[in-house]
Amino acid sequence: MTTAYRSGYVALVGRPNVGKSTLLNRLTGQKLAITSHKPQTTRHRILGIHNTEQAQVVYLDTPGIHRSRGKALSHYLNQTARTALHDVDLVVLVCQAGQWRDEDELVLNNIRENQRPCVVVVNKIDRVPDKTVLLPYLQQLATKHTFTAIVPVSARTGKQVDALATTIEQQLPHNTPLFPPEQITDRPERFFAAELLREQITRRYHQELPYATSVAIEQFVAEPDRYRIHAIIWIERDSQRAILLGKQGLALKATASAARQQMCRFFATRVHLQVWIKVRKSWSDDENSLAQLGYTP
């Protein structure tokens, strides 16, 4: 290891649905964060570690900072994201190409308060057919804050992500590695099992149902030839059970099957998955319920 080696913590922040989790997965080369087209898919701080010959970058993916709707879960998501801004070496503000909304300004205000160096990532440039409109957008963005760098990327396609990774590494302090080289996250396997099931629920069900569900792993047993996983999907009302099940239970069977296949890929082993549905009334607006379901900052 040379004296030029760098390491540090990098917080990925932004409003909901700008592609932070897709960017984390692309930067680390691992699927650590679940993704969907629905806002607020990310509910927890997810740590992802990326090692190169020159650096170790410890990324913190965060829920989208948003105008709180008053629910306890909404407050938790904002608190989790804002807490990640403390004690990091660099903040990466992710916004969407061609857009700047009130919630983007809200995120930037939080960054200003913490006075951390900040790289702004203009994501989803693949959705802008006329690239000439990007230049005035980038120029306007540069007037909003003294950013260390402004980097347009497409997290979905990977375009310019390598350039972003290099920019991030160059902003980190000279330091020894913070984690062993083989470690990729600080989350246990059962956390990812719950997230992979919740990802399928978020992608497959419409309207408000994904926001009224949470997943808990009741049993996680590593057997010699497979993982045996028992999961509970928590809902807020009895009426939501029928929606989750679908006709003759086919919707839930398809969801569980897709989640099991993702788990097999993620854990690189066979998975036996059983899923139950239970009701915990208004869990998303009750701080005690949130804590019991694993929502702790």
1: pLDDT strictly greater than 60 = no
Please tell me the predicted confidence (pLDDT) of residue 139.
96
**Which amino acid is present at 103?**
E
H helices present in 36-90, as ranges: 72-83
Structure token pair of residue 290? 């949130």
| Rounded-to-integer distance, Cα 55 and Cα 60, Å | 16
Structure token pair of residue 74? 């909404």
CA 161 to chain centre: 17
Please tell me the predicted confidence (pLDDT) of residue 129.
87
Q: Flag whether the pTM goes above 0.85.
A: yes
pLDDT tens readout for residues 168-212: 999 999 999 999 999 999 999 999 999 999 999 999 998 778 889
Domains in the chain, ordered, with CATH?
Answer: 6-171 (3.40.50.300), 189-292 (3.30.300.20)
pLDDT tens readout for residues 52-61: 999 999 999 9
Instruction: Please state, for a pLDDT cut of 70, what percent of the chain lies above it.
Output: 98
| Rounded-to-integer distance, Cα 151 and Cα 277, Å | 44
